[in-house]
Every structure is written in structure tokens, then in C-alpha cells.
Structure 1
């Protein structure tokens, strides 16, 4: 099927407020108010007070409302200063360095606890409506319940185009249905991938060959391992759904029972979307995911244990890193490797097909491991209509503010109109974002190569992005399939600093 014949989907608009000269409508209103206060003060003869009111108003607008940066992706001075101040405070208090183990100073029973907000997670184990075991994660600090489903997707390259289109449509239906359950706070899809050499695996297997084994058996083993491809891919996909405890039940026990009853529905939907045979992750499953994220070299050990039938009884609450340091800018160091995270700030300004993000999600060289997480925030029908109206006004304002609107401006106006039309026809609207975490060896060469490779992958998707330079630990753990929704941890200070 040609590119023109392929099913295209997506109607993506930035939720950032429209700006004229770097200021939103609220920003310009603030400027007008400051000028009016100055005029009033002048009328009453208070010239000094008038000038002071104007000066303070302009300073407030300049710091908290004026956005510097690319189109639709600018950031205020206050937001940038707050990031640096927060990082400095964390360094001064030692919060940028995390240690586990006997000499860590952690309380007994939590010697290998996860860092940050993850340390406050409570594991709730049970059986769902179809008799399958599961572990729910209770994020106590924000009152949320998360369930992670492990998927084994079908290989898209081997599927007929018609089946692929049907799976995409079903997956889109699942995302749209998130809005129908008002107790759902959000959902994520996490794709982890690695392109691995066979050498470590072969060495690991050879270590388990007994010295007294017959020469013929050793020769057969050597020939078998020699037939393995030089590189192989290790890919895992997780879908995480997060519910609000207060919305889904009167108390935690009732909420747990309600969520357990909803799990088969989400499992069936992901199955129909090409997710293989999704299974709700247990504490041991999630612990393995986290341990490999901290050190990708553990993937070989885990695969060898699977081949030999060894079980790993480690639970998620015991899966913390040996150490995690994020005091440098952009890079975090943990368990012998390094990592960095990039976040999407503006979606691709194009319609997409199933191949648009293929390179970003596929295994790639220059990384020990790559983790891409897409965040979905469902909007109710009322919220969706309000947001669509806001987008229509903001895109029209942004386009009319220029003497000659660009093709991007005109395209955004048309997309905003289509948004409202689609909502009238019964479509759903979801807010979404995307983050990419890559892990590499802790050397300057590996960092340089990983940075360039990640930039190339992100540029190929036509999205606008920025690297997370401060709060690297928070970004790293947000991309794990553990149900951390960044907007649930945002406070009023962050909101004001980001501008209006």
C-alpha cells in the first residue's frame, strides 16, 4: 500500500496558550491593567506611585508571563529560575544522591526501597474477575491506584495492512474510552527496547556448561551458540492505567475490588489492539522491569535465569538502585550506567501513519536501553468542548496577530475547527505527552553518541522537544511503567512559574 493510501490519524494541537509577541492574552491584559493603574495614579497626582505600578506590572509580566523560546514552546524566566533553585536546594540538602543497603541509613525493612515518590507506594495483591493474579500500586501521596499490563505486541512488519489499520483503530477506541470512565486519572504506554550483542549471553551460557561434560556435548553447544545472530532485540511493552481512589470507591478496599473488576476489560481491549496476550503485572514482574532499567546489563542475567528455570522472588518494594545520583545537569548516574531524558513540548505538526514513530520506538544502536513513554490524560466531554473552544480562539488569535499568517498558523486554525467538528460527531479528546529515557555507558564518548542519536530519532518524528536538565531523577522514574502521572505532582508554584 502506498503512503498516500495508508490510513492517517491524529489531530494534534499544542495546549500551550496562544501568544502575541511572546505574551498570552492574560499577559497583555496584565500590561493594560498596569498602564491603567499608572494613568489613575497620574490623575490623582501620584506620579511616583503610577510609575511604580507600571514598573512592578511590567516586571511581573516579564518574569512570569513572557515566554522565551520556539513557537508554542517558550518558557518563562520564572520557570527556568525555579528549576535551578530547586536543583540547588536539592544539592545543598543531599537529595540528589540516593543510596541503599546496610550502610545507607535507610530504616530497617526499607534498605532497598525505591527513591522519591516511589518509596511511598503500597503494593496491593489480589485476583481479578477472571482469576488472574495482579498487583495494584497505591500511590498514597496522591491517592491513585495503578495497574500495569505487560503486552507482547504482534510484529507489525508481518501483518497485512488491513489488520494493522484495524488494530490502530481499536487502540484509538481504547484511548477514547478512557474519557468514559470518570474515575480514570490517566494512562501510559511504555515501550522499552535494546539492541544487544550475543557475546554476553554466550559467555553466560558457557559458564553453566559443566567441566566434566563430554567433548561432543561441548562441541554441539559451541556450534549452537555460533549459529545465533550477532545481535538480537529485547523489547517489552507495558500499558498502565491509573484510577483516582476517591472516585472509584468509598475506601481503599472497595476501590481495589472495583479496579480488579475493570482489569479484564482493559486486557481484552489491548489484546484486540495487537498487544498479544496482556497480563496484569505482579510485584515480581515490576521489580524485574525496574532493576533492568537501573542497569540494562541485568537483562542478560534475567534471560539466563529464565532459560535455567530460576525464579527471582524480589518484590518491587525491594528493587531500589544501589545508588542514584542526579546532581549533574541532564545526566543521572545509577548502578554503573548513565541516563538522560527528553520530553516532547509540541506534538508533530503533521498527520501521522503507523510508521511515523517507528524509528523512535524501535531498538537502536548507541544506547544500552531506550524507554519511550506516552502519557494520556482523559478529558470529559465538557472539558473537551471547553478545550476545543479555547484552542479555536487561541489559534485564530495567533494567526491574526501576524501581518501574514504562515502555513503552520493556517493549518492550526483548520485543525482547531476540525476538533470542534469531530467532538460534535461524538469523538473524544485526550491530552497527551511523550518522554524518552535512554541509558548508556558513563563515558564522554557514549554520552556524546547517545545525545546525537537521540536528537536524530526525535527530529525524525517532527516533534519539538527539550532535554530534562534538572530533576533528572523525577523524569527517569516517570517513564517507568509504575503509574506516575507528572501532572498529579504539579503544585501551584509550578503553575504560576510556567506562566498563564
Structure 2
């Protein structure tokens, strides 16, 4: 008799650059400078001057030492100041069309997506794909429509193989120096029935038996009554590494088109069937997210020979207003949360299932998992530095649970070094959760539902206050990467 053991995984650890007493190096150096300055002032000037310098030094150092929600006081203050300055200048409001503040009344997407461009390319296997270009960062993003294999009626051994293949997929892409991010997006939207009607109309032949036609239409009606449809996709962002690809998008399109068949094959091994989305399909997804009322028209127009005809510049909302804790756009309100702490301890592959699956109470829900792989050289440096920092932290802690925790961190860092030396990749990741609802919706109820789902997924989340517009765009999976496009100095992160 074969005994079955449930396979568990770890969410990984976050590398920390710690000095004495668990402080960050920036905080430790700042505190050291303050202490030396106070001692010298007492010896040279006197006790009063030393006391004044000690008070000033405490005020300067405390925001680096005390962190709230994983952010130092300086980061929180800088975010609040940027928000206040933008609101004072009117930058929190966006309006397109004739009443736009843009010269000539031109239309464009809001925020970080304003300078983006959308092109159409063709892979070597014949697939057409849309390519989103952010010229400022020399980055190109391709979006893949995905059909993940469900876990129903599947042996656990096959599920374990899929999980291992997904890890190999991330590691193989991470080994390429031009891959900036891999962003799987699980998007749920209300079911309108237009998509199913168009599909049935395309596959049912006029001369088919009447019974067969009736069965197909009844199935379409039953599926449409489920109220929520699931639309997964995977976005992959590449960085142009040569002068030609930076200046000529067609050159980068050729390179991505050459690599797409291999990427699709690797995804298939992980149980995810995928195909590239065209420029029109990407435009429809973005337009639907910014203007939920346009979903039915976009789905109906997609079945027409000419498509929906919406250009990329008009994929954004007619109007948008970023408030401190929410985003108002085209008659809807959206709130985005970000992960602050990964699930602790060990977990199974189904830890995020309740968060990702369709929920009738939250019909417009979008969960984006942002993977940012390190190159091989970066991975080696990071795991070695993390191991050294863990050893320093272990040597300067005393007694009880603190010492046990420090020893566990050293063991995890050592394991990461060994796995990286064997060829495993090193990847940073985060999660963004976006909820969109009509204006006037019960926001406290939505907040409670999201917090409950995140608790079931063992995630710690917080609202993206002061940058809801940027977080909304990042969760779309169209090339916006918040850590890469951030304005916060890394030294202040603590």
C-alpha cells in the first residue's frame, strides 16, 4: 500500500540588509553618525549642545528605525507629499477628449500608460500578437491569453509536475537578461452572454440537426447564467538591450516573435495553454477595465468583421480622479491593495484558490502576481549578501525566540545559496488585488470581503493609498511595473 504525503511549499524569504540590532544599514550608519556627533559635541562644546544634537539626531533617525506596514516614516511622508503636491497641481484629475487639458484635445491613456504605444507583430509560428511599448524605459510587453488546467479530476502527482514546470518556466525566463517581469493576471468580469452567443453562432451550422442546435443554445444560456466569467492572461515584459531595438520597435517584435513558440511550449508543460493576444484584444481588455459599461459593446463588436475599432489612445477612461484611497473612473470606483507579507510557514499549491476563483459578490476582481526574476549574476550576489547579513544578525542577537528565529534565517539563506548554485532561479514577487464596482457601492462591505479572502489566502495586504492610479495600471498586466517605475529612493525603504 502506497502512503500519500501532501506536498508543501514555502513562500520564500525576503533578503534583508541588516546591521547591528536588526537595523538596516542606512539606519545603523545614521544612528552611528548621530552618536559620534553627540559625543564630540559634548567633549568640545558642552552638554547643552550635545543634548540639542541628540534631540535632532533622534528626530532624524526615528523614521528610519520605526516602520509601519513595512515602510519607513520617510517613505510614508514622501508618498504623502507627492500626493499632496499632485493634488494641488490638479494632476490627480484626468479628462480626455474635447474638454481635455491636453493641447488639441488629444486622447491618451492616463498616468504611467500615457506615453505607451501599441504595435502588432507576428511570431514565427504565424500567431499575431500585440506589443505594448514604453519608450521611456525601453520596455516591450506581450500579453498571452491563458487557459489554465483546473485541479478537478487531476491526480496530485500531475499537479506537482505542473508546479515544478511553472518553477522551471520562471527560472528559464529569469536566466534571460532582458526579461523584466512575468505577470499572471486572474481577471473576473460579469458574464454578459455576448461572448457565448458569438461563439455558438460561429460553430453551429445552419444545416445541423435541430436538436443539436437547441442543445448548443441551451448550454450557452446556462453558462451565461453563471454571472461571472474567468479570464486569465500572462504578461511578459522585455527590455530592449540593443540600440536598434530601442529605436525601432519592429526589431524587438522580431526577437519576441522568434521566442514566443518556446514560451508557449513551456507554459503548456505547466498545464497552461496559452496564445498571444492581438492588439485589438489587448485594447478591449484595457478599455473594459477603465470603462466597465463598455464591456457588452466590446464583446458584441468583437464578433463583427471589422472588430471593435477602438484605437489604443482611446482605451482609457473618459475621466479619472485619483483620491487618497480609491480611483474614480467612468462611473465606477476601483480600489487596489498590495501584498505586504507573503503567506508564512509552509503551504500547498491551493493557498490562493479562494482569492482567485470567481466570486458573485465581487464580479469585477483582478489579481495580478508580479514576478521579477533576477539574472544569474544578481542572484549570486543577493543570496551571498543575504547569507552574510543573516550571520551578522544571528551573532548579535541574544536569547530565546530571537536566536531561534535568527538561526532559521541563516538556514534558509544557506539553502537558497545551495539551490541557486544548482541552477535554480531567484525571483522577487508581489501581489496586487483590484476591485471595481459601480459608484455608490458599499465600500466597507467590499473592504471586508477582500480582507476575508486575503486572510483565507494567508496574505497580509494594505491599500495602495496615494498611488491608486499607478497600482490600477500595474494590476492590468500591460507593462507597468511599480518597483521598476517607482519614484521612491531605495535607500529610504529601510
d(CA) in 1 for partners of 2:296, 2:187: 15
Is it true that 1:441 corresponds to 2:435 in the alignment?
no
- Is residue 465 of structure 2 the alignment partner of residue 469 of structure 1? yes
Q: Deviations over 1:408-443 (max 9, x none)?
A: 655444322221221232211111111111112322
Q: 3-state SS of the aligned residue for 1:440? A: strand
Q: Identify the residue that residue 110 of structure 1 maps to in structure 2.
A: 106
Please give the residue correspondences for 1:101-500 in structure 2 after superposition, counting only pairs within 5 Å. Answer: 101-108=97-104, 110-111=106-107, 113-194=108-189, 196=191, 230-247=225-242, 251-253=246-248, 254-276=251-273, 278-305=274-301, 311-327=307-323, 329-396=324-391, 401=397, 403-405=399-401, 411-443=408-440, 445=442, 447-491=443-487, 493-499=488-494
- The answer on 1:67 being equivalent to 2:66 is yes
Q: Does structure 1 conserve the Cα–Cα contact (< 8 Å) formed by 2:191 and 2:224?
A: no
Give the distance between the partners of 2:184 and 2:133, measured in 1 at CA.
19
Residue of structure 1 equivalent to 2:41 = 41
- Cα distance change, pair 52–352 in 1 and its aligned pair in 2 (3 A): same
* Residue 46 (structure 1) shift: 5.9
Following superposition, the deviation at residue 475 of structure 1 comes to 0.6
C-alpha offsets along residues 135-167 of structure 1, whole Å, 9 cap, x if unaligned?
211101212111111112222224332322222
Mean Cα deviation higher: 175-184 or 294-303: 294-303
For the 8 Å contact 1:144–1:243, the answer to whether it is kept is: yes
Equivalent position of 1:100 in the other structure: 96
Structure 1 residues 199 and 137: alpha-carbon distance in aligned structure 2, compared to 1, 3 A threshold: closer
SS of the residue 1:486 aligns to: coil
Specify the SS of the correspondent of 2:360: coil
Aligned residues of 1:283 and 1:315 also touching (Cα < 8 A): no
Runs (5+) with no aligned partner, structure 1? 206-218
2:32 aligned partner = 32
CA distance in 1, matches of 2:195, 2:127: 35
Task: Determine whether 1:57 maps to 2:57.
Answer: yes
TM-score of the superposed pair, with normalisation by structure 1: 0.85
**2:100 aligned counterpart, secondary structure:** coil
Q: Secondary structure at the match of 1:234?
A: strand
- Distance in 2, Cα, partners of 1:123 & 1:197: 27
Cα distance in 2 for residues equivalent to 1:222 and 1:258: 43
**Relative to 1, partners in 2 of residues 1:238 and 1:402: Cα closer, same or farther, differing over 3 Å?**
farther
Quickly say closer, same or farther: Cα 1:222–1:464, change in 2 above 3 A: closer
| Deviation at residue 93 of structure 1 after TM alignment | 1.1
CA contact (8 A) 1:195 1:363 kept: no
166-175 or 11-20, which deviates more: 11-20
Which residue matches 1:5?
A: 5
CA distance in structure 1 between the aligned counterparts of 2:177 and 2:304, rounded to whole angstroms: 45
Which stretch shows the higher mean deviation, 307-316 or 158-167? 307-316
Q: 1:348 to 1:262 in 2, by over 3 A?
A: same
Q: Is the 8 A contact 2:16 2:389 kept in 1?
A: no
Structure 2 CA distance, aligned partners of 1:76 and 1:350? 25
Task: Give distance in 1, aligned partners of 2:341 and 2:3.
Answer: 24
Secondary structure in 1 matching 2:368: strand
* Contact 1:22–1:68 under 8 Å retained in 2: no
Q: Deviations over 1:7-63 (max 9, x none)?
A: 333451123544877732442332222212222334444656645544443322123
Larger deviation, residues 244-253 vs 425-434: 244-253
Distance 1:423 1:220 in 2: 54
Q: 1:41 to 1:125 in 2, by over 3 A?
A: same
3-state SS in 1 of match to 2:347: coil
Q: Secondary structure at the match of 1:462?
A: coil
Q: CA deviation at 1:179?
A: 2.3
Q: Give deviations 1:158-188, integer Å, cap 9, x for gaps.
A: 4332322222221111101122111112221
Distance 2:383 2:449 in 1: 36
Contact 1:67-1:74 at 8 Å conserved across structures = no
State the TM-score, normalized to the length of structure 2.
0.86
Distance 1:105-1:68 versus aligned 2 partners, 3 A rule: closer
Worse-matched range after superposition: 2-11 or 352-361: 2-11
Displacement of 1:240 after TM fit? 1.4
Q: Following the alignment from structure 1 to structure 2, what is the Cα–Cα distance between the partners of residues 241 and 248? A: 21
1:296, 1:368 within 8 Å by CA — same for their partners in 2?
A: no
Checking the alignment, whether the CA contact within 8 Å between 1:134 and 1:282 is kept in structure 2 is: yes
